[in-house]
Amino acid sequence: MQRKALGRGLSSLLREVDTTTSGLDSVTVDLIDPSPLQPRRVFPEEGLKELTDSIRSTGVVQPVLLRRSGERFQLIAGERRWRAARAAGLTAVPAIIRDLADREALELALTENLLREDLNAMEVARGYEALQQKFGLNHEEIASRLGTSRASVTNTLRLLRLAEPVQHLVASRELSMGHARALAALDSHAAQVKLSRTIVEHGLSVREIERRIALRALPARASKPAAKPDALDANMRAAVVEMERALGTRVKIVGDQSRGQIMIRYFSPEDLHRLYEWIVRR
């Protein structure tokens, strides 16, 4: 039996906290440590300063979520509020203390940040990867636990194949999630880096990048004896892009409007199972 997505459970918990102070603890900020499971790695200075100023004025409105770690406490959710509270000179913060295993702690941290859209795409990808590698969850289980779609989980994990410089651009939000997914379709890291720089320099749209990537694939098709130089017209190239977006993987058409083959790539048993479910169960 599938367990309820944590996104709903956390939302309910936070609503309770917003309406009552019963059950809250006041915890000294110096007794709180960041969690090594925290998926968030970037805390922009400007946003942190704004929150610090707000806390100086009104205090910490929403409590942080903690678990005990010996004589100290480990942050599960609310690291940004904790950092801002320290910067504002507060000695203690309101907190909810829960007894949580590592997997539950990571799931809750991911869910809170996803609900608030605080994480950049690479942080989300590494969080999913941790759930996969540390706790053995497959794509469907991650999606169910976090209240998202399996396709979204798969597409996000594909970002980890991006070249390191491209990942930095995604993490700094210079590249959008849509741009990143399009670039992940390129096998060459050098090509990813080159095209990512073009995106940043010229402000190219996701659609334009997908069009360019589709065009890049044409010479490889044309070099094969069985393929005609102009086998794929604009409509068929557009169809390839749409199929890749829907399936979350590389798609190749060999042939023309009359007949041909559609080849769908998969990169793992999880990918194959996901594609099977998507095609057969729809």
Catalytic residues: 79
Q: Please report the DSSP string for 160-198 in residue order.
A: GGS-HHHHHHHHTTSS-HHHHHHHTT-S-HHHHHHHHHH
Cα 115 to Cα 92: distance, rounded to the nearest angstrom? 25
User: To which residue do tokens 């659609």 refer?
Assistant: 207
Residue 263, strand partner residues: 252
Nearest to 7 by CA among 162, 179, 142, 122: 142
Compute the distance between CA of residue 214 and CA of residue 185 in angstroms, rounded to an integer: 10
User: How far apart, in Å, are the Cα atoms of 112 and each of 169, 196, 238, 251?
Assistant: 24, 30, 37, 34
What CA–CA distance (Å, rounded) separates 240 from 216? 13
Encoded amino acid at 113, one letter: N
Buried (b) or exposed (e) across 79-107, using 16+ Cβ within 10 A? bbbbbbbbebebeebbbbbeebeebbbbb
Alpha-carbon 158 to chain mean position = 10
